[in-house]
């Protein structure tokens, strides 16, 4: 391991231990639910089912739910597997796979976190624009304006020091997740009953090659919808017994996920069939006030999810500052500068991104699939813990 890498380890363990162990399992549930159950993640699920059809779509969604819940419990179990805390995903990978594990997870985590923030900033801008257009039909503000407004708000939240400081924000976000899901599911059923059911088709559209491409695109979107690249970082905020509390927090979060993901995916596909829009809210037409409420819930929830996914990049930058032993005054000045640069770049990319669902699918395939479906089971196999057949099966399948 390089000297630079050893300095990173010393910084991670020292600084994170000081702030560790304050949260309850409920706080962990808020963080996990906020990280995974964002409207940008599960609003495309009806469209994913439309690209797969009922049998493959339902089985893929259920399998992904069970696999990522199980994988999250595996990661929680490895918290002290060799007698030492692993306070970040990178350090956990390093302790099991060494140098290449560390840098592989660092790469996938950055792809997942940056890609996720680009996607959800597009979704937030779209929701804000929908609210604006409801009250100002002829208004001149564009999607790009609202993406910039949302970025400015996230810059303000980025000055909070760590994940634990976001616990009340993420508690509100978890309530907004439930509010968005309940509102959207209810309005989807209402719209579905208003439509002539004989006009709804559930057949897959396009040529054979187009259907295959759409199917893989849908699988990438499903992988994105269960993305959580921050489990060890979240577990580091939880008090002892950390593993038990994390088990409870993850399971509680997945209860919310099952109650929202499955119902929205199934009702959305049932209501609109193969004509469903990539972002389900865009398929809804009446009543208007409920659609506005769903968009407001979406923006609130996304604001917390964005913040959690900023943290790997912020942490990496702060490691560099600590290893260079810069003064506290300089650190205090540099953090706002760095967070501003980060959010400006994300905002510019989001403003220029015209293909939301395709981007979500790419991010899910490249970033979240290795982190959430493959690495946890490979790590369990490497350390020689049981469930070998199941772990090999999950790794091979995904």
Question: How confident is the model over 228-248, as a mean pLDDT?
Answer: 89
Predicted local distance difference test score (pLDDT) of residue 256: 86
Residue 5 confidence class, pLDDT cut points 50, 70, 90: low
Q: Which of 356, 179, 187, 203 is nearest to 271 (CA)?
A: 187
Residue 4 confidence class, pLDDT cut points 50, 70, 90: very low
Residue 283 lies in a domain: yes
Residue 81 confidence class, pLDDT cut points 50, 70, 90: confident
Question: Within 13 Å of residue 190, how many CA atoms lie on the same side as its CB?
Answer: 14
pLDDT above 70: residue 164: yes
The answer to whether 364 touches 227, Cβ cutoff 8 Å, is yes
Q: What is the CATH number of the domain that holds 157?
A: 1.20.1730.10
Question: How confident is the model over 269-273, as a mean pLDDT?
Answer: 95
Residues 181 and 174: their CA atoms lie apart, in Å, by 11
Our count of domains for the chain comes to 1
Q: What are phi and psi of 238, to 5 degrees?
A: -100, 135
Q: Which of 38, 114, 45 is nearest to 302 (CA)?
A: 38
Question: pLDDT tens, 171-226?
Answer: 888 888 888 889 999 999 999 999 988 889 998 988 889 899 999 999 988 988 88
Residue 173 lies in a domain: yes
Residue 87 lies in a domain: yes
Residue 218 lies in a domain: yes
Question: How confident is the model over 90-95, as a mean pLDDT?
Answer: 91
Residues 266 and 326: their CA atoms lie apart, in Å, by 53
Residue 322 confidence class, pLDDT cut points 50, 70, 90: low
Residue 1 lies in a domain: no
Q: Which residue has the tokens 């990438």?
A: 220
Percent of the chain with pLDDT over 90: 37
pTM: 0.81
Residue 14 lies in a domain: no
Predicted local distance difference test score (pLDDT) of residue 19: 47
Domain that holds residue 351: 38-396
Residue 310 lies in a domain: yes
Residues 307 and 376: their CA atoms lie apart, in Å, by 24
pLDDT above 80: residue 232: yes
Residue 72 confidence class, pLDDT cut points 50, 70, 90: very high
Q: Which of 71, 23, 29, 52 is nearest to 250 (CA)?
A: 29
Question: pLDDT tens, 353-366?
Answer: 767 777 788 888 88
43 vs 150 pLDDT, higher one: 150
Residue 13 lies in a domain: no
312 vs 151 pLDDT, higher one: 151
Q: What are phi and psi of 236, to 5 degrees?
A: -65, -15
DSSP, res 226: T
pLDDT above 70: residue 154: yes
DSSP for 99-152 reads: HHHHHHHHHHHHHHHHHHHHHHHHHHHHHHHHHHHHH-TT----HHHHHHHHHH
């Amino acid at each position: 391991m390089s000297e630079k890498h050893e300095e990173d380890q010393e910084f991670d363990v020292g600084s994170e231990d000081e702030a560790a162990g304050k949260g309850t399992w409920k706080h962990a549930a808020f963080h996990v639910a906020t990280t995974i159950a964002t409207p940008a993640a599960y609003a495309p699920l009806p469209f994913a089912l439309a690209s797969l059809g009922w049998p493959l779509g339902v089985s893929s969604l259920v399998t992904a739910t069970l696999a990522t819940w199980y994988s999250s419990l595996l990661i929680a179990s490895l918290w002290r597997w060799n007698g030492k805390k692993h306070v970040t995903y990178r350090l956990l990978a390093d302790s099991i796979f060494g140098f290449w594990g560390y840098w592989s997870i660092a790469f996938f985590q950055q792809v997942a976190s940056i890609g996720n923030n680009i996607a959800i900033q597009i979704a937030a801008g779209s929701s804000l624009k929908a609210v604006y257009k409801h009250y100002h039909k002829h208004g001149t503000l564009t999607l790009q304006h609202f993406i910039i407004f949302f970025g400015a708000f996230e810059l303000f939240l980025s000055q909070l020091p760590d994940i634990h400081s976001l616990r009340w924000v993420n508690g509100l976000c978890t309530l907004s997740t439930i509010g968005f899901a309940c509102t959207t599911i209810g309005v989807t059923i209402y719209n579905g009953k208003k439509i002539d059911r004989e006009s709804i088709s559930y057949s897959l559209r396009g040529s054979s090659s187009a259907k295959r491409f759409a199917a893989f695109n849908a699988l990438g979107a499903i992988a994105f919808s269960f993305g959580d690249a921050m489990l060890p970082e979240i577990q580091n905020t939880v008090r002892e017994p950390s593993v038990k509390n994390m088990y409870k927090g993850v399971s509680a979060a997945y209860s919310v996920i099952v109650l929202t993901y499955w119902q929205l995916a199934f009702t959305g596909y049932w209501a609109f069939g193969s004509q469903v829009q990539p972002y389900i809210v865009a398929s809804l037409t009446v009543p208007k006030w409920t659609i506005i409420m769903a968009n407001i819930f979406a923006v609130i929830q996304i604001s917390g999810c964005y913040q959690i996914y900023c943290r790997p990049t912020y942490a990496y930058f702060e490691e560099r500052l600590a290893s260079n032993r810069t003064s506290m005054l300089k650190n205090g000045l540099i953090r706002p500068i760095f967070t501003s640069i980060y959010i400006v770049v994300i905002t510019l990319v989001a403003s220029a991104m015209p293909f939301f669902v395709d981007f979500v699918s790419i991010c899910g395939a490249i970033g979240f699939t290795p982190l959430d479906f493959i690495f946890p089971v490979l790590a369990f196999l490497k350390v020689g813990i049981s469930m070998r057949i199941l772990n090999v099966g999950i790794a091979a399948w995904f």
